[in-house]
Structures are given as C-alpha cells and as structure tokens.
Structure 1
Amino acid sequence: MWVWMHEAAPPDPAAVAALAVQQRVTEAFVSVPWGGPTPATHDQVAALRGAGVRVSALGGDPSWTTGADAVTWMQRATAAFLFQGVHLDVEPWTRRDWAGRERELLDGLARTVRDVAARTDLPVEVDLSPWLAEAHPRQFGDIVARADAVTLMAYRDRAADILASSAAARRAIAGARKPYRVGVETGPVGDPEPSAGQTFADDGRTVLERELAAVTGSLAGDARFAGVAIHDFEAWRALQP
C-alpha cells in the first residue's frame, strides 16, 4: 500500500502497522520528502519493518522527467539505509503541458528511471497508467525495460474492468519479463475528472475484497503478477464495511 507522510499530520505509525498486519500487506511505499527522511519517516519505517513489512521509499513529481532531481531525491531518501526499495510516482501525464509533449515527457521518464536505477543497488519500481501501453507503446516499453518492477494504476472498481483496462500493459510487461502489481484506488478521484467507477471509495471494504479476490484469482497463473497495491493507507482505513 501507498503511505503518504503528510508533513503537517503524518499518519500514526502504530495505526499504519496495524492495518498492514490486519490486511496482510507485504510491502509499503512510504513517501519521503525532498530533504530526506524526517523523524516521522524513521518512526513509520521502524513500525512497519517491526511488523514484518518490507518498506520502499516513495517519491515523485511530474517535473522529474528532466534534470537530476529524481537522483538527488533518491540519494537523500536512501542515505540512512532505511529502505529496501525505491518506488517512483512521477506521472508526467498529469502535467499541464502534457498535450503535444507526450513522447518527449515519457522518454524523459524512461531516462529518469534509468538514472535512478544506475545510482542505487536497491530495486526500482515505477507507477504507470495502463492506458499508456496502448497510446504510447514504445515509450511504455522503454520505461518498463529500465525498471525492476511496475505498479499498474488500474483504477477501476470492478474486476472485469481492472483486468480489461490493464490487459495491453500486462502483455507488454510479460514481454519484458518484469514483475508487476495491479494498483487500485480507495479514495476520492477528481483528476482529470470525477468518476465513481475509478475508485472503491463509494463501494466499501466488502466490495473491494470481493473484486480483488476475483482479480487475483484471474491472474494467479501469471508468474509476473506480484499482487495488488492499495492507494492509499488513509482512504483504505476509512472505507466503510
């Protein structure tokens, strides 16, 4: 699951660890600010690792398709040896200048993933929207090739839609022989446009568990499938039954 460490009010480490244990979470992506781990980051990582959860440093900004900012962030985030992986959430397709620059920005993301991976011995995972595999197959493939693993943000609230929307991306990842997770949303969705069909926020925990069981059952025979990722801790905990 994603765990966003909001500066003004970071989540309680004990609560995060408790949910992770309850829901059998094996890995948490814990956000690290630009300046590096804070005391709150240390407390959160300690609680999760104490509960047997693997922890990756989570970071990203849509501007990280140019320059060396991602490498600088990664080096600060991992300097204290807190983490067991690096998780990049850059999402250049959310930029205001995305239209007309799609290929350029995705090529930049591929370079960013390459540069980060070259400067760390930790595995580097990257968040990608599945539709990129159909709209920009070459660039999608280049990014996947440079990462150690991919999380597909297949933000739909029914198993059939999750599987259908991620099918092309999963085929591309299989060709690259990389592991992948299927990510789903449990919080409000308002960008680029609100859609109840993109999140489990209005469905509740029972529906989430039912649909994810169907997804994992369908993908059980895929050796590259590494499980489901939930966005994010706070929204997941707040889900109604």
Structure 2
Amino acid sequence: MKKKLLFFLLTVTAFLFLTGFSDSEESKKAMWVENTDLSENRESILTKAEENDVNVLYVKMKEETSSAAYSDLIRGADEKEIEVHALGGEPAWALAENEQQILDFIERVNNYNEGAAEEEKFQGIHFKIQPQYLPEWYEDKSTVLKEWKDNLSTALDTFSEDTPLEISSSIPFWLDEMDTPGETDTPFSTWLIRHFDHTTILAYRDTLEGPNGIVSLTENEFEAADSLNKQILVGVTMADTGQDHTTFFEEGTADMDMHLNLVDKHLGAYDSYKGTAVDDFSSMEQQEDQASAPPEENKNYRGTYIWEAETLINEKDSIIEFAKEKNINLLYTRLDLTRPHSAYSDFVEKANAEGIEVHAMGGHPSWALKEEESRMLDLVDYVKTYNDSVEEGQKFSGIHLDIEPYTEPSWAENQQDILSQWMDNIELFVNETKRESNLEASMDLAMWFDNTETPGQPDTPFNEWVIDKMDHTSVMAFRDKAEGSGGILDMAQNEVDYAESIDKDVIISVEMKENKANPHISFHDEGEAVMEEELDLVDEELQSYSSYQGYIVHAYRYWKNQ
C-alpha cells in the first residue's frame, strides 16, 4: 500500500514538473460591445466572438435596449460557451454627484437577472469608468480620485458575499502612479485590484517590449494582483484613436492576435494572468472594413478658413458657390456658440452634398492658458451635441483650433510655462473631441516650432509633439514662394517628414491677407494666379508623401476679394 502511494505521489510530482502548475480555470479572452445595436448585430457579435476565440463579452447595458435583446444575445452566447457580463460606466460616474447612477445600473442588472431564464442571465458586472476624460480631472485629481473610490465602495457594498456575479472593472495602466485616497502607501491601482474578482488593465499600446510597451506598463499591476490572489486581463484596443502607438487599428487583427499570443508568453509566469481583452466589437468591424477596402489615396485637400460666424450664416449660398468655383473641398468654419444648431445645419448639409468637408473652428491666443480651457471645451461640447442632434449629412467632420499664444506680450517672458499649459489644453481637447465620436481633431501650427523644445521632453521639438497628438496638423508655412531657401517647401519639410514617419497627416497653410511689414509671408501682393502656380509646385513636390494631404488658404475673406 505504501509503495502504491509513493508511486502515485511520484507520478503526480513528475506530471506537475513537466506540465507546470496551473489554475484549472479556463483563461479568458474578452471583447467589449459598447456602441452597438444588439438586435441588428446579434449574429455578427457572436460570429466575431467565435472567430476570435472570445469567451467573455462585456456588453453595455442601456436603458433604451429591451430585455429581449439582451436575453436573445446571452442565450446565443451561452450555446457557444461565451459568458456575458453587463458593462456599465461613464467618466462622470467617478463624481460623488453621480453615485446613484452606479446603483441604478446595478439594480437594472439584478432586476433583469431575476426575471431571466438561467441561460439568459448576465454572469458578471463590469465597470469601465474613465474620469481622465472629465474637465474636473485636470482641475483637482485628488478630489476626483476620492469620490471615485467612495462611489465604488458604496457600489461594492451592495453585493452580498455569495453573489453569483463576477464583479470586475477596467482601469488605465497609469493608476499605479497615483496614491489611494486615505492610503498614501497604496497605489490606487492596487486598491482597485483588491476589490474586484478580476481587473482588465487598459494597456493601450501596439508593442510589447521596451519602456512604453505592454509588459513594462503592466508589471506593477501583476505584482500587486499576485500578492492579492486576484486575476488580471490585459486590454488592448482596435479603435482608430488617431495615435498609432496606442492601437492596433493600423496594424490589423492578425498583427494584434500575434501580439496577444506573445502576451501569453511574456506574462503567463504571473499567477494572476488570466488572459486578454479587445476594445471593442465595433472597432474590429471598422478595421476589417478598412482592410478590405482599396487603399486611400491622398485626400488632396484644397481649403480655406471662414473666420466670421455671421458670414457663414448669412452668406452660405455664396460660400458654397465660391467653393465650387475654386474646387474647395475643406472648410474650417468659426462658430457662434450662442446660435441654435439650426443656424448651421442647412449650410453643412449643402457643403457635404457638394463633397466639401466642414470642420468647426475656434481659437484665441488665451486658449493656450489653463484658465481658458472652458472656452475650448464649450466649443467641443457644442459640436458634439450638434452632431448628435442632426441628420448624418448635416454633421461636422472635425474640430479645428487656431491658438497662437506667441502673439501675446506675455509669450516672451513665460514661454515655457505657457507651452506647458497649452500642452495640457491640447491633450484635453483631443481626448474630449475623440471620446465617443469620430470627429477629427486638428490645429494650426507655426512652422518655426521645429526649433522649440517641448517642456519636460527636451529631445522632442514641439512641432513633433503636436503632430503626434492630432489627426491632422495645418502647418502655417506662410511664404510667397514654393521653392528655394525660406520657401514653403523648405519651411514645412521637417513637419512633413515627421508626419510621414508616424503615419500622421499634414496640410500646408498659406496666407492671402495683406502684410505690409512682411510682404514675403503672403500672396496678397502677387495675387491669386501666382499663388496657384506656387501651390502647384508644392503639390508636385509633396505628392509622393502619404502624410501630405493638400493645402488651405487663409482666408475666404481675403481670397474672394483678390
């Protein structure tokens, strides 16, 4: 008997030695389903999940979606052995004033499950709260963190210890750099990991190794989860974020899958590692649609600025006719935010029907300062609210900023401080513009910023920092000749080259306004015919660059009076 027992123990030991000690629980591969109509997309969601070996769906629970749509999806997922977790969360859920919204969400999930058949129940609840997209985050992070913690504590207290639901959350990787309110020796990421069954780290990068790769950015979270006996998933995104290093949108599904398989190898040594997650279904669909479409040629924009909102409102037919006459297909248009949406919808519809993109525009030198960020956010909020309220053909395509703080006397004395504030405002602008929208974020950039250091990043010229943030950048290469030293091509070359290296877009901006003190920066004296000849040379020279997307003339008022 003893010999048999000894033989059994030796056999088990040898087996474990050869195969490794592993948790019997199946690894997870999750996919978010957020802004998708479940009734219309049920089959494609399940097919996409099956094709990508997804076994957990984080499905956004919305008040306007019927219980039947959820039960139908969950029943189909259950047949394929896919768990469905109810997804809830908005950036504002981190604020104390919105605590009840979290509790209402939990109650909706519980009420749904109570009335559902066993194979139609949610198996978990997943929170995705990202307060970094709130203006309050940039005003007082410590208060937002405290309120976020308090809200989650209240929410978690509503669950009984024997709840059948798996409770999880998504958190950004950088929360390991922030202290937990009331627990200064504990990173907030650790506090969050401790309180959930599993945590998905939003490690939005398209590379594994190096100081800015997925492995390095998540190691603190894995070490904390190992010590707490908790589970971690690594989340990546397929969304078109406008920042190539944060997403696999450009690389495609095959490249993402290759990296996710390597994530298993790199991070599988952690006991807490339980798999990966992809954000999200609609982005994967969009990426595959793009991959199957023929490659886009350069847009060859030919545009102008309309700085007076009254002109846009009162001369809309004249503007459209001018645009058609001059072959213009891009307009940056200043808005009066006190006007109702109806003041712009007819113009934007007519422009779009003629193949003219319309980007809402705003800006002032003071918008570079922290104290003026609200004016910038008002513009973003107006445009997003406008787009949500109008028909598809009436929507703005983007939001464009023209902020030139160097025109103010304070620039010479406080350049680095103003630049730092401007950087914060730029990041806030991009985040708010891109959040839950497909609007392009763009801005004007003076050509000489390639000689200006970025605060905190002395090896990075400011022009490169800006180009990296924007979907496209309008380089103000204000010169009255294309070629030669000091010409348009010479002045914009660094920006075009850098944009090419990171797969971003640039537009060349030229001036038509009279400038008696510096006539060489404008085509006012030379006239339209010479400007057209010089811009043809710019086109010819830069057409081979995928980053070059055309040119824009400043501005409509001066161009039409030539």
Taking structure 2 as the reference length, the TM-score comes to 0.40
Residues in 2 aligned to 1:214 and 1:165: alpha-carbon distance in whole angstroms = 14
Deviation at 1:210, TM superposition (A): 0.4
Aligned match for 1:72, one of 378, 382, 385: 378
Query: Where does residue 94 of structure 1 map in the other structure?
Result: 407
Residues in 2 aligned to 1:37 and 1:220: alpha-carbon distance in whole angstroms = 40
Check whether the contact 1:157–1:208 (CA below 8 A) recurs between aligned residues: yes
How many pairs were matched up? 236
Check whether the contact 1:133–1:172 (CA below 8 A) recurs between aligned residues: no
Residues in 1 aligned to 2:508 and 2:311: alpha-carbon distance in whole angstroms = 30
Name the SS of the counterpart of 1:14 in structure 2. Answer: helix
Residues in 1 aligned to 2:502 and 2:476: alpha-carbon distance in whole angstroms = 18
Residues in 2 aligned to 1:113 and 1:169: alpha-carbon distance in whole angstroms = 18
CA RMSD in angstroms comes to 2.1
Deviation readout 1:29-53 (Å, 9 max, x if unpaired): 1111354666554444243223221
Alignment of 1:111-150 (within 5 A): 111-120=424-433, 121=437, 122-136=439-453, 137-150=460-473
> Quick one: structure 1 residues 218 and 189, their matched pair in 2 at CA, closer, same or farther if it must change by over 3 Å?
same
Name the SS of the counterpart of 1:64 in structure 2. Answer: helix
Check whether the contact 1:58–1:88 (CA below 8 A) recurs between aligned residues: yes
Deviation at 1:130, TM superposition (A): 0.8
Check whether the contact 1:13–1:48 (CA below 8 A) recurs between aligned residues: no
Unaligned runs of 5+ in 1: none
Check whether the contact 1:37–1:77 (CA below 8 A) recurs between aligned residues: no
Name the SS of the counterpart of 1:214 in structure 2. Answer: helix
Check whether the contact 2:467–2:473 (CA below 8 A) recurs between aligned residues: yes
> Quick one: structure 1 residues 183 and 57, their matched pair in 2 at CA, closer, same or farther if it must change by over 3 Å?
same
Aligned match for 1:106, one of 413, 416, 419: 419
Question: In structure 1, what residue type is equivalent to 2:448?
Answer: W
Deviation at 1:110, TM superposition (A): 2.4
Name the SS of the counterpart of 2:557 in structure 1. Answer: helix
Check whether the contact 2:309–2:335 (CA below 8 A) recurs between aligned residues: no
> Quick one: structure 1 residues 38 and 231, their matched pair in 2 at CA, closer, same or farther if it must change by over 3 Å?
farther
Name the SS of the counterpart of 1:201 in structure 2. Answer: coil
Name the SS of the counterpart of 2:550 in structure 1. Answer: strand
Query: Where does residue 204 of structure 1 map in the other structure?
Result: 527
Deviation readout 1:161-208 (Å, 9 max, x if unpaired): 111112223233333331000000111236xxx211111111111101
Deviation at 1:28, TM superposition (A): 0.6
Query: Where does residue 305 of structure 2 map in the other structure?
Result: 2
Deviation readout 1:117-173 (Å, 9 max, x if unpaired): 211221101100010112335332222221111000111010111111122232333
Check whether the contact 1:110–1:139 (CA below 8 A) recurs between aligned residues: no
Name the SS of the counterpart of 1:73 in structure 2. Answer: helix
Name the SS of the counterpart of 1:99 in structure 2. Answer: helix
Residues in 1 aligned to 2:349 and 2:450: alpha-carbon distance in whole angstroms = 37
Query: Where does residue 543 of structure 2 map in the other structure?
Result: 220
Name the SS of the counterpart of 2:396 in structure 1. Answer: coil
Structure with the higher helix share, 1 or 2 = 2
Check whether the contact 1:128–1:152 (CA below 8 A) recurs between aligned residues: yes
Residues in 2 aligned to 1:149 and 1:9: alpha-carbon distance in whole angstroms = 23
Query: Which stretch shifts more, 167-176 or 108-117?
Result: 167-176
> Quick one: structure 1 residues 43 and 232, their matched pair in 2 at CA, closer, same or farther if it must change by over 3 Å?
farther
Query: Where does residue 207 of structure 2 map in the other structure?
Result: none
Check whether the contact 1:35–1:76 (CA below 8 A) recurs between aligned residues: no
Deviation readout 1:34-82 (Å, 9 max, x if unpaired): 5466655444424322322110001011111214321222112332113
Name the SS of the counterpart of 1:226 in structure 2. Answer: strand
Deviation at 1:218, TM superposition (A): 0.5
Residues in 2 aligned to 1:139 and 1:237: alpha-carbon distance in whole angstroms = 34
Unaligned runs of 5+ in 2: 1-303, 388-394, 454-459
Query: Which stretch shifts more, 27-36 or 119-128?
Result: 27-36
> Quick one: structure 1 residues 4 and 41, their matched pair in 2 at CA, closer, same or farther if it must change by over 3 Å?
farther
Residues in 2 aligned to 1:152 and 1:180: alpha-carbon distance in whole angstroms = 7
Check whether the contact 1:179–1:226 (CA below 8 A) recurs between aligned residues: yes
Query: Which stretch shifts more, 36-45 or 78-87?
Result: 36-45
Aligned match for 2:557, one of 221, 231, 234: 234
Query: Where does residue 170 of structure 2 map in the other structure?
Result: none
Residues in 2 aligned to 1:43 and 1:5: alpha-carbon distance in whole angstroms = 17
Name the SS of the counterpart of 1:110 in structure 2. Answer: helix
Question: In structure 2, what residue type is equivalent to 1:169?
Answer: E
Between the aligned residues of both structures, percent identity stands at 23
Question: In structure 1, what residue type is equivalent to 2:378?
Answer: T
Query: Which stretch shifts more, 42-51 or 128-137?
Result: 42-51
Residues in 2 aligned to 1:138 and 1:210: alpha-carbon distance in whole angstroms = 32
Greater relative CO, 1 or 2 (CA 8 Å, sep 6+): 1
Name the SS of the counterpart of 1:206 in structure 2. Answer: helix
